[in-house]
Amino acid sequence: MVNRQLTSGALAPARVGLTALCIAAAAYVAATALSQALTGHAVQIAKSLIVAPVIEELFFRGVVQSRLRAQSGFWGRPWIAIAVTAGCFGFAHLATASVTHAAAVIAPALVIGWVYERTQSIGLCVALHSAANAFWIAYWSF
């Protein structure tokens, strides 16, 4: 018999957060090892296509959007949760990018948020995030 206390109710958001934290820590360790093995642009590309999408999607979809959706009332509405999460995602990019770049990532974040709402698949969101980053890498490289 499944212990429902661990998979539902008040503990569910905590499990998502703990899982996201463990995966993010593992991704950080892997990125550090990869940084030592690769040089130059290869490191940046690996971080942009693998590490950043995993960490960001685990946090923004797996924690922020999921916790907003778990709320009752206004904040729990799907498009409110998606929009707030996308706005937070754009704001987080201000730490390392221009205002223009931060604003530009909001549109794909809305699409990825909608996909997460429909599928509840972090893996699919990571793949879409990686594809968006690959597009921008290719766009700015040529």
User: How many CA within 13 A on the CB side of residue 59?
Assistant: 14
pLDDT tens digits, residue range 98-118?
Answer: 899 889 999 999 999 999 999
> Shortest CA distance to 81 belongs to which of 119, 57, 116, 131?
116
Instruction: Give domain limits for the chain.
Output: 4-141
Answer whether residue 69 shows pLDDT above 90. yes
Percentage of residues of the chain with pLDDT beyond 70: 72
pLDDT bucket at 70, cuts 50 / 70 / 90: very high
Q: Quick one: pLDDT at residue 116?
A: 97
Answer whether residue 64 shows pLDDT above 90. yes
Q: Quick one: pLDDT at residue 33?
A: 65
Q: What is the per-residue DSSP string for 6-75? A: GTSTTHHHHHHHHHHHHHHHHHHHHHHHHHHHS-THHHHHHIIIIIHHHHHHHHIIIIIIHHHHHS-SGG
Arithmetic mean of pLDDT, 20-25: 61
Angle at 58 between CA 61 and CA 20, to 5 degrees: 130
